Chain A
Amino acid sequence: MWSAIIFLVFAFVAVVAAINLVVQTHPISSALSLIGVMGSLAVLYLLLGAEFIAAAQLVVYAGAIMVLFVFVIMLLNAGAENAKPIGSRAKYFGLPLLIAFLGIMSFVVQAVIPGGNNVVFGEYHAGPRDVGKALFTDYLLPFEVVSVLILIAIIGAIVLARKEID
């Protein structure tokens, strides 16, 4: 009962923030809306029982990554973007096509996933212990491959950003 209310509230916040993210013209407003989306997502993970994922969502996405986004936007002093006039095709076909797309999507989801109460709040017990155990036993190879990938990305960024020394 309480879980359902909390779910509805935060799902609503997430959707509103996501729409706001697209609608806003100023980059800072968009970035902050994205933080709103990520914060609400963290609460939704928590409702499912995935405590560690929720905390990681908050620390990594809402904290570290978005701070970098905001930092760069502030550093470049990016102003509000100028809204372009909407073309006639988008004006007349945009909304019907969007509604049709959403309808097809929901139909496919309904068809693929059998009905009934699939998701139960707090059903998954993915605490830090379980996540750690899974990462370092069953998924050790993917985990290490991903860390090498990230290392390559970091080195690539340094190589690209380094000034040419003559």
Chain B
Amino acid sequence: MNFLIVSLIKAGVVAFVLMTTLAYLQWIERKVIAHIQLRVGPYRVGPHGLLQPLADVIKLITKEGFIPSHVNLFFYMLAPFLAVTLSLISISVIPFGPEIEVAGVKTWLQLTDLNIGVLFVLGISSVGVYGVALAGWASNNKYSLLGGLRSSAQMISYELPLALTVAAPLLMLNTLSFREIVNGQAGYLGGWLARWTIFQLPFPQIFLGFPLFLICSFAETNRVPFDLPEAENELVAGFHTEYSSMKFASFFMAEYANMVTVTCVATLLFLGGWTPPFPAPYSNVIPIVLFAIGGLAALYAGINPARPKDRFTLPVAGLVFLGLAAAFAASHLVPALETVLMALFWFCGKVLALLFLFIWIRGTLPRFRYDQLMRFAWTFMFPMAMLNLLVTSIMVALFPKP
């Protein structure tokens, strides 16, 4: 009974946080891209456009859901449902932090731990292509069909190097469960360098494994420079051309959920999950210092505001940041709370940094041509992934763990 209640609470919290993240990720993306292109981005709804996601959600819900004629109605409706369901399932095996104890109940900051967690995520992501492919086919539109075809070919091609690069850290850590994967990366080399798989001996994955994984994950989530399924200058909007209202929003949500999942997996497999980059007494100071600097900078900017509204919004943001810094500092008095806060800080920090990288690249790189994309997958990514796996397995065999 206890287990059921705890699981329900955890599922509710994770679902709420994930949905909020998805909505605000879109705001972050628009803001970051806008600043890369020297614009301000969303600014009108709420301070600095902070209520824009809410307005977007209301708009998308109340819009008319238009269904074109001659579509295959069953598959047309099934496709967005499949896309969003399959993209949300994977989050259930992602651990966000260590085991905690609240009011005598011990629980992990994770919905469920499978001992084949990595395989589960791979399986779900390989089935995830059906949403896009079916949407393209069922829409009865040539552009949509081309988008769906492109996306299925692209996802099959990049699934192979993705699986091969994932196998390399698994060889080093000797497990498939995400919990064990993070435990295997705890500790420090020589007392200061984190034993994350990108640094871990015998073969650090930072040379080949991690970059390859990132490139494959761009392709798997259909993001720039691999967003050919929705290349707007060739295919109108690709596979979701004929979708509107909440059905369109489902595809949007699926894309962002996939991004969050893939960055979480990258964090867990390569960046050590919630373990800090250097030993605890020193790394615990970092969030306090970061939040304090952010808060003070916002306060200073609020004293000399560039725009009249900033006289109010920036000091408020500064106070929030200072409050966070104070909360982290205060948690030092309660060791149990400090562990949880630090774990969440490092996990969210790494995931957000990777998400920022995704957005940054979208604002920087042009799109591949289709033949370039395929040649890149088969003649560069696949051999390099094989090489990485080969070298890693030879090194693991030569230098077994004591």
Contact = CB atoms under 8 A, between A and B. Distances in A.
A55 B120 contact: yes
Contacts of A52: 116, 119
Contacts of A54: 116
B145 A63 contact: no
Nearest to A63: B126
A71 interface: yes
A20 to B, nearest CB: 12
B155 A67 contact: yes
A7 to B, nearest CB: 19
Contacts of A28: 72, 75, 134, 137
Contacts of A39: 127
A74 B119 contact: no
A70 B123 contact: no
Interface in B82-140: 114-116, 119-120, 122-124, 126-127, 129-130, 133-134, 136-137
B120 to A, nearest CB: 6
Given A58-B123, A63-B123, A67-B156, A127 B149 contact: no
Most buried by A among B124, B130, B155: B130
Nearest to B78: A32
A37 interface: no
Given A64-B156, A67-B130, A67-B156, A55 B123 contact: yes
B7 interface: no
B159 interface: yes
A82 B115 CA distance: 47
B130 A59 contact: no
Interface in A38-92: 39, 42, 51-52, 54-56, 58-59, 62-64, 67-68, 70-71, 74-75
- Chain B at the A interface: mostly helix, strand, loop or mixed? helix
B77 to A, nearest CB: 13
A156 interface: no
A140 B163 CA distance: 23
Interface string B147-159: 0110011011001
Contact of B130 (A51, A70, A75): A70
Interface string A7-34: 0000000000000000000001000100
A62 B122 CA distance: 12
Most buried by B among A52, A63, A64, A71: A63
B176 interface: yes
Nearest to A71: B152
Contacts of A59: 119, 122-123, 126, 163
Contact of A127 (B116, B129, B133, B163): B116
A128 B133 contact: no
A75 B142 CA distance: 11
A51 B126 contact: no
B119 A67 contact: no
Nearest to B129: A67
A63 B159 contact: yes
Nearest to B120: A55
Nearest to B160: A64
B155 to A, nearest CB: 7
Contact of B126 (A64, A75, A127): A64
Nearest to B155: A67
A161 to B, nearest CB: 15
Contact of A58 (B126, B148, B149): B126
Contact of B156 (A68, A74, A128): A68
A55 B116 contact: yes
Contacts of A67: 126, 129-130, 133, 152, 155-156
Nearest to B118: A55
Contacts of B133: 67, 70-71, 74
A67 to B, nearest CB: 5
A51 B93 CA distance: 15
B159 A127 contact: no
B130 A74 contact: no
A90 B10 CA distance: 57
B112 to A, nearest CB: 13
A55 B130 contact: no
Contacts of A55: 116, 119-120, 122-123
A44 to B, nearest CB: 15
Contacts of B153: 71
Given A32-B130, A51-B115, A58-B126, 8 more contacts: A28-B75, A35-B130, A52-B116, A52-B119, A55-B116, A58-B123, A70-B152, A71-B156
> Nearest 9 CB-CB pairs, A to B?
A63-B126, A58-B123, A55-B119, A51-B116, A59-B123, A71-B152, A74-B137, A59-B126, A55-B116
Interface of B: 72, 75, 114-116, 119-120, 122-124, 126-127, 129-130, 133-134, 136-137, 145, 148-149, 152-153, 155-156, 159, 163, 176
Interface of A: 28, 32, 35, 39, 42, 51-52, 54-56, 58-59, 62-64, 67-68, 70-71, 74-75, 127-128
10 contacts: A39-B127, A42-B123, A55-B119, A58-B124, A59-B163, A63-B123, A63-B127, A64-B126, A64-B156, A70-B133
